[in-house]
Structure 1
Amino acid sequence: MSLRKYFENLTLADCLLLTALFFFSYVVQFYYKHFTRPNKLPGPFPLPIIECAYCFRGDIRQLFTSLTKKYGDIYEIQLGGIRRIIISRPEYIEKFFNNSTKHSTFMSRLPYTQGIEELGVARKGLLNNDDFKSWRFNRQFFTQAILSPSFNNEAINRTKLLFEELEGYWKSLGSTNPDDEEWSLKTDFSKWFHRFTNDMIVVLTTGERSYSMGSYYNTLSPVKASHPDTLIDDSDRFVKGITQFVVGVSLFVFLGPFMRHYVPIIRDKANSVLKNRDYLFGKLDTIIRKRRQEIEVMQNKELKHDMLTSLIVANTERDINYKKTVGGEIFLPMTDIEIRSNILDAFLAGTDTTANLFSFITYYLCHYPEVKRKMLAEIDSIVQPKSSFQLTHNDLSKLRYCEAIIKEVERIFPVVNLTSRYAASPIEIGGYQWPVGTTFHIDFVSLHRHKDYWSNPEAFDPDRFFHDKMNESYLNVKYENIIKDDHNNNTKDEKVGKKYSFVMFGGGFRICPGRKLAIIELLSLMVYVFGKYDVELVDKESPLKTKSSAITNCQELMVKIKPRFQQL
């Protein structure tokens, strides 16, 4: 009661004085910690509360590339209450890509933060799971589904079926006569392929169809797609929700709780991300409950082979690899939250990244006609001109120049801007000894254009990768080895930098498990789109319209398409 009376008797002047003393104490502690930190590196000077957020202009890619140019290959930045070490030299990153799952020094991408917990994705699934045992369990069933031969055969078949659906929409929009073969269409490629990859990952992951391409078609045409309106509307909202979630993650990773909760503009954006998160979680929970009910009904029938079904039956008697215990350890079925996290990870990693990279491929091909000509010559030599064709793994493995184009576009304009690693034990990086708890970020944009490892790094030149020796040196992105699930990392090649000067799918035991699917989609789309259609930019002088957070999103890519004179 005496303490209560004390506060009741405080005057306004007393309150202001206490506030000033509290703030002064905070500032002293903040700068004491800053000036006594180990291994003082160059970087922007942090300010109390906002830290280095004053450098942020809304674009993560621009932020870190500009800081790297100013401060060099290793520097620091204070954001979200965390001291972050930014690196962009190949020799600095090799230790982060240890192939052995027995070593978990860099298991965590980031230290525990309130932001990731607030998003509801901490320690769940794969992307943000820093519990090694839980991550390995989830990874086992994730890869068991997505890396299987049947899954990848289905991916090739589904790509063809979905592209045929897409072609129907294009022709309907571009022609007035259904029999007209001389039609043309001006359209936004980025919108179409974000929806294409969404429909692709949904059907491969859950076994259910979504109709986000049909939804976009309905916004452009008075003649509506032949799908129920409820499915169309739901698909449209879902694909927008995935994109919004990806863009919004950076707010919760790089900005502290004060910025997210009290700074008006940022607070509104953070609340919008959380509202969208609740929608996505609810949508996925409904899909999971529906499939559980289907499985219960199908007691004596063969189950589907999609990822969702595999995760639901994992560690149950319907799992063909079921083991109740091993060495006294009891294996439990996956909870709905764990399943939801894995499915969400698949959506997040398998939708926007592939769609954006294909948009960037299109942009560069339209600016480099000689590269496009060589690509078409390769496509036409492998897929003979005819009215219809079905790609096979063998066809895709022959597209060596197309592979080189994919790699060079990813080198010069990577979709993923940064990856993070958190040191669980002391380590030497860049000539410094770093204590436990240090957070590192690998800047892929600066790494892939580093002048010490790439000749003429700003030039677009797929021939960098179009060599037998070069293809052998990038085993984790070569089509044949992806299909064989080769986990080897890049080996040194004298023509292209050195080991780890190019990192497309990450490395080590956290290498992207969806890399096979990504390559299948990209190569197949290059054949179907450019083999069957002439594609030109509407405005060749216009720069790429992008927005960067965790990844760089293509906001718009206006093109003009028409059937090629020689139809396939």
Structure 2
Amino acid sequence: MLHVYNDLVSIIGILIIIYISHFYFKYFTRENPLPGPIPLPLVGNIFLLREDIGEWPNRLQKIYGDFYETYVGPRRIVWLCGEDLIHKIVDSSSHSNFHELTAPDNEGLKEVELLNSGVIFNLNYKSWEFYRRFYSRSILKPSFIIQATDSIQEVFNEMDNYWEQLGEDFILDFPFWTKRFFLDTIFLIATSKPAYSLASYYNSVSPDKKVHVSENNLKESDTFILGINAFVTSLIYFLMLPKYLREFPGLRSFTRDLKERLNWLRNNVRGIIKERREEIERTPENQELTHDILTMFLTINTS
């Protein structure tokens, strides 16, 4: 029995050595090699990701320059950090070097229903062209641009008022404020309704004065922020991480939590769309509608 066990261990050890040798043979003989950290088998360079994922590319850029590569699992990811390089990709002219944003068989984006929908990850050219024309026709209207400008000013004035009430001696955590500023601005531009994320954050840091907003609105605002954070995280997480790593015991619960938050966000957005559609149907024909993104999308074929 011991002999069989030793043989099994030897076979497994040989297979591991063969796999590692094959992995690094393919790595060192790959086409168009770029500078970047040397990956480990199965996990790639994930073991280097010890800080904020937003800071990781900046740190690698300082080491390897504006054009480098990393690996997430077996998947190679090329990073463009120089303005001149990015311009060649996003240039809207017919001479652009743009081909596609992601692999058409990305099962991670399919799993969370982000592949081939909208504009960013849509590889169906006819569908992408339709959505792009649809968006451009809506957001390039002068009426929308005027309302968007007013919305930005309105939210900034709100944030500036909170800062004045906190006083000069209060230490501002600027990243937290800017995240909520952008969320409130985008939500107001998109729906003409407040998101209350600045008010919620102000109430959490203000020792005395509070903004009088209903608890339900404040709680929903905080939950919405978590949903937006989950969405941004999911774009990177499901795009880059292979399924076998997402289902790994240490990550399985995190994967499930991301999906649940995405589902909540998706259902919440659908509820907002349904509510706005009903409001438009009840609006008299002689009454002008607001010029937010959602209203533009819902009425673009009737204008």
Aligned counterpart, 1:191? 176
Which of these residues, 282, 294, 301, is aligned with residue 308 of structure 1?
294
The within-5 A match list for 1:285-324 is 285-298=270-283, 300=285, 302-314=288-300, 316=301, 318=302, 320=303
> Partners of 2:82 and 2:292 in 1: how far apart?
39
Kept in 2: contact 1:51–1:78 (CA 8 A): yes
Aligned counterpart, 2:102? 110
Kept in 2: contact 1:195–1:212 (CA 8 A): yes
Distance 1:303 1:12, change over 3 A: farther
Which of these residues, 155, 178, 181, is aligned with residue 148 of structure 2?
155
Distance 1:221 1:124, change over 3 A: farther
Letter of the 1:110 partner, please give it: T
Aligned counterpart, 2:70? 77
SS at match of 1:190: helix
SS at match of 2:50: coil
> Partners of 2:241 and 2:35 in 1: how far apart?
21
- Offset at residue 96 of structure 1 (A): 1.7
How many percent identity over aligned positions? 32
Aligned counterpart, 1:270? 255
Distance 1:300 1:104, change over 3 A: farther
Distance 1:144 1:29, change over 3 A: same
Aligned counterpart, 2:189? 204
Kept in 1: contact 2:44–2:72 (CA 8 A): yes
> Partners of 1:160 and 1:244 in 2: how far apart?
28
- Offset at residue 205 of structure 1 (A): 0.6
Deviations, residues 337-371 of structure 1 (Å, cap 9, x unaligned): xxxxxxxxxxxxxxxxxxxxxxxxxxxxxxxxxxx
> Partners of 1:299 and 1:26 in 2: how far apart?
69
- Offset at residue 196 of structure 1 (A): 2.4
SS at match of 2:31: coil
> Partners of 1:104 and 1:198 in 2: how far apart?
32
Distance 1:38 1:93, change over 3 A: same
Aligned counterpart, 1:47? 40
- Offset at residue 73 of structure 1 (A): 4.9
Greater fraction of residues in strand: 1
Which of these residues, 250, 260, 265, is aligned with residue 246 of structure 2?
260
> Partners of 1:44 and 1:299 in 2: how far apart?
62
Kept in 2: contact 1:52–1:79 (CA 8 A): yes
Gaps of 5+ in 2: none
Q: Does residue 234 in structure 1 map to residue 226 in structure 2?
A: no
Root-mean-square deviation (Å): 3.4
> Partners of 2:227 and 2:7 in 1: how far apart?
48
Kept in 2: contact 1:141–1:310 (CA 8 A): no
Kept in 2: contact 1:53–1:255 (CA 8 A): no
Distance 1:23 1:115, change over 3 A: farther
The within-5 A match list for 1:65-464 is 65-88=58-81, 92-93=85-86, 95-100=88-93, 106-112=98-104, 113-174=106-167, 185-219=170-204, 220-262=206-248, 264=250, 266-298=251-283, 300=285, 302-314=288-300, 316=301, 318=302, 320=303
Distance 1:263 1:132, change over 3 A: same
> Partners of 1:194 and 1:89 in 2: how far apart?
25
Letter of the 1:210 partner, please give it: A
- Offset at residue 287 of structure 1 (A): 0.5
Deviations, residues 467-498 of structure 1 (Å, cap 9, x unaligned): xxxxxxxxxxxxxxxxxxxxxxxxxxxxxxxx
> Partners of 1:306 and 1:20 in 2: how far apart?
62
- Offset at residue 288 of structure 1 (A): 1.1
Deviations, residues 90-140 of structure 1 (Å, cap 9, x unaligned): 66555323322x578624222242232233322222222233322222222
Kept in 2: contact 1:74–1:88 (CA 8 A): yes
Distance 1:137 1:21, change over 3 A: farther
Distance 1:17 1:308, change over 3 A: farther
Q: TM-score, normalised by structure 1?
A: 0.46
Letter of the 2:276 partner, please give it: R
SS at match of 1:83: strand
Q: TM-score, normalised by structure 2?
A: 0.79
Kept in 2: contact 1:303–1:309 (CA 8 A): yes
SS at match of 2:247: helix
Kept in 2: contact 1:145–1:305 (CA 8 A): no
Deviations, residues 37-85 of structure 1 (Å, cap 9, x unaligned): 2233443333221122233223445543444444455443322432233
Letter of the 1:272 partner, please give it: D
Letter of the 2:92 partner, please give it: N
- Offset at residue 308 of structure 1 (A): 0.9
- Offset at residue 26 of structure 1 (A): 4.8
- Offset at residue 28 of structure 1 (A): 5.7
Deviations, residues 524-550 of structure 1 (Å, cap 9, x unaligned): xxxxxxxxxxxxxxxxxxxxxxxxxxx
Kept in 1: contact 2:42–2:73 (CA 8 A): no
> Partners of 2:172 and 2:276 in 1: how far apart?
37
Gaps of 5+ in 1: 1-10, 175-182, 321-568
> Partners of 2:264 and 2:130 in 1: how far apart?
27
> Partners of 2:169 and 2:146 in 1: how far apart?
32
SS at match of 2:291: coil
Greater fraction of residues in helix: 2
> Partners of 2:124 and 2:114 in 1: how far apart?
13
